[in-house]
Structure 1
Amino acid sequence: MALPMRRTLVSLHRATCGSLKSAEVSLDVRHPVPLLLPVRTKKRYFIPPAVGRKGREEQSEESKARAAGFVVRQQYYERPINIACTAGIFDPYIPPEGDARLSTLSKEGLKQRTEQVRQTAASQLAIRKIKEHDSQFATKDFAAQAQEIFIEAHDALTQFNKEKLHSLVTERCYPEMTRGNRYKTIHWRFLESLEPPKVVHARCPDMISKGNLYGQVTVRMHSKQTLAIYDRFGRLLLGSEEQPKDVLEYLVMERHLVNPYGRWRLHGKIVPSWAPAKDPIIKTLLIPGPELKPGEEFDALSYEVAKPKAVQWSK
């Protein structure tokens, strides 16, 4: 009886010792520290240079990008081309000195006559090409038609009618006519023709490909006009509405002959070298008036403008 009892006590002692050891082991085990790994979410192909780098060799940004494995796309700077009109005036007409014929006995007169014969021969060939594509073209009637287009275009310019102006002038002439007129008021009138307009020059160039023909006809127009330009405050900058001026102009009309829906439009003007210089723009300044109290009225007749004092400017 004593032997089984002893075995039972030994087994209980062993069990209690094992449980105590396992408890000590569980107490000694430390909790693992969370492991943080750096994760790259976005690769940086280009690192900006450090501030204040001096004495180091500066490398181009393109070479750095190539070294990082980033391929820089080549940039193409393309210029748009408008095939509705040409970009300039081909073989422009050279008006004679003073718009008069010199004597053929002099050297200048003989040279002028030779140049006129050469231009006339080339113009006849161009007119023949124009008539092949435009059966209604005639030099006698075209000059009056060009004058009407010129008047309608300037009337549309004074009224700021962009849609009508685009139909009367080419894409090259439009920015030249509208540049700088945003905050200005233009008053223009065509009074009369001093001389009937006439065709003096014609060319029929091709562009991009052979057979893509454009007709350019130069019309001489001598007329009487009035022009007055006001700034945004209503002050006169140039010209006068009451004083007319005699104007001699050489208008260049153009048409895309291959286009069946093309029409003759104003393409530009030829300004001869001997033409007189344009009138300067009148500079307008603000004249300070008197300081009025509430309830007072300004009497312009009794007010005298104070003259500025002489000031010695030092360099």
Structure 2
Amino acid sequence: MALPMRRTLVALHRAACSSRKSAECLDVRHPLPLFMPVRTKKRYFIPPAVGVRGQKEVNLEGKARAAGVVFRQQYMERTINIACSAGVFDPYVPPEGDARLSTLSKEGLKQRTEQIRQSAASQLAIRKIKEYDSVFTTKDFAVRAQEIFLEAHNALTQFNKEKLHSLVTERCYPEMTRGNRYKSIRWRFIESLEAPRVVHARCTDMVSKGNLYGQVTVRMHSKQTLAIYDRFGRLMLGSEEQPKDVLEYLVIERHLTNPYGQWRLHGKIVPSWAPAKDPVIKTLIIPAPKLKPWEEFDSLNYDVPKPAAVQWYK
């Protein structure tokens, strides 16, 4: 009985000596902290470990759902603009040889008769337009359409976006401005070869019944000049001195049910028999000779290298 008691006392003595030695070894200048940091706020997002990001796919939506965070639903629908229509309703088909055939000739008289026969739908559309626009007349509207055309192209050459938006529809705006960011446009209207006239009219609803859009096609035959320069000032297309006869069919549109709607340029109709456009003049860089630091370039005595002849086989 005395032996186990003695062993217990020896063990306690050794433990006390070891704790006394450890306390002596401690540095008094750096005491132990008197408080322990405790996390009181839950972290909803834990950043990924280093080197694990590209190894496997992480389901962020599942992790967020488990953490109690709701992801916003992603909508794949495309926005719709109801200020204008998306295209041309029943586009006008210009007769072949228009502006070249006289009404006194046999072919010209035949075209005029066919145009009168197909104008019944246009008369119904004009009546519908007059219900919403009481001052609409085909004679005055043709002149107004030409003014809209001139103001829109002048705003395009001056890059006046605010004014251009008020003169053309949202469908026509990207078609007129696409690719013109670093180019200089020089356009000029010289004269009208023939008085503009209304040749086609349509009135159709969109999205819902009663949401009416009116489209009027105006024939305009005029003389214009056009020159387009690239960002380096080199001529790409046309000429500023040489005028050309241009026959155009302009489509003017208005949202009739909108009390603040205005007639704006919506597009152009290009007939299938129209001549092809002039090709764009491409500018190339002529390679200069490689000079040494002590040499100077003499452009008068330099011969431009010509490409070697290549035989092409079929």
TM over 0.5: yes
- Post-superposition Cα deviations, 1:276-295, rounded to whole Å, max 9, x if no partner, equal 00000001012345669899
Change over 3 Å in CA distance of 1:43–1:199 after alignment to 2: closer
- CA–CA distance in 2 between the matches of 1:122 and 1:196? 23
Q: Equivalent residues in 2 for 1:213-292 (5 A)?
A: 213-289=212-288
- CA–CA distance in 2 between the matches of 1:281 and 1:188? 16
Residue in structure 1 matched with residue 10 of structure 2 by the alignment? 23
State the SS of the aligned residue for 1:164: helix
State the SS of the aligned residue for 2:120: helix
- CA–CA distance in 2 between the matches of 1:251 and 1:235? 30
- CA–CA distance in 2 between the matches of 1:201 and 1:207? 19
Worse overlay, 247-256 or 278-287 = 278-287
1:166 aligns with 2:153: no
Residue in structure 2 matched with residue 34 of structure 1 by the alignment? none
| 1:69 positional shift | 9.1
- CA–CA distance in 1 between the matches of 2:128 and 2:177? 33
Q: Equivalent residues in 2 for 1:190-229 (5 A)?
A: 190-229=189-228
- Post-superposition Cα deviations, 1:62-84, rounded to whole Å, max 9, x if no partner, equal 9xx7xx99999975411111010
| 1:312 positional shift | 4.9
Residue in structure 1 matched with residue 305 of structure 2 by the alignment? 307
- CA–CA distance in 1 between the matches of 2:143 and 2:200? 15
Indicate the RMSD between aligned Cα atoms, in angstroms.
Answer: 4.2
- CA–CA distance in 2 between the matches of 1:276 and 1:133? 38
- Post-superposition Cα deviations, 1:228-254, rounded to whole Å, max 9, x if no partner, equal 000000000000000000000000000
Residue in structure 2 matched with residue 93 of structure 1 by the alignment? 92
Instruction: Give the aligned residue type for 1:251.
Output: L
Instruction: Give the aligned residue type for 2:217.
Output: T
| 1:18 positional shift | 3.9
**Overall identity of the aligned pairs, in %:** 66
Larger of the two Rg values belongs to structure: 1
| 1:97 positional shift | 1.1
- CA–CA distance in 1 between the matches of 2:128 and 2:237? 42
| 1:121 positional shift | 0.4
- CA–CA distance in 2 between the matches of 1:289 and 1:178? 36
CA contact (8 A) 1:119 1:201 kept: no
- Post-superposition Cα deviations, 1:267-314, rounded to whole Å, max 9, x if no partner, equal 00000000000000001012345669899797x6x4554232416589
- Post-superposition Cα deviations, 1:123-154, rounded to whole Å, max 9, x if no partner, equal 00000000000011110000010001001100
Q: Equivalent residues in 2 for 1:135-146 (5 A)?
A: 135-146=134-145
Change over 3 Å in CA distance of 1:180–1:292 after alignment to 2: farther
Change over 3 Å in CA distance of 1:307–1:83 after alignment to 2: same
- CA–CA distance in 1 between the matches of 2:234 and 2:257? 47
Change over 3 Å in CA distance of 1:289–1:61 after alignment to 2: closer
State the SS of the aligned residue for 2:79: coil
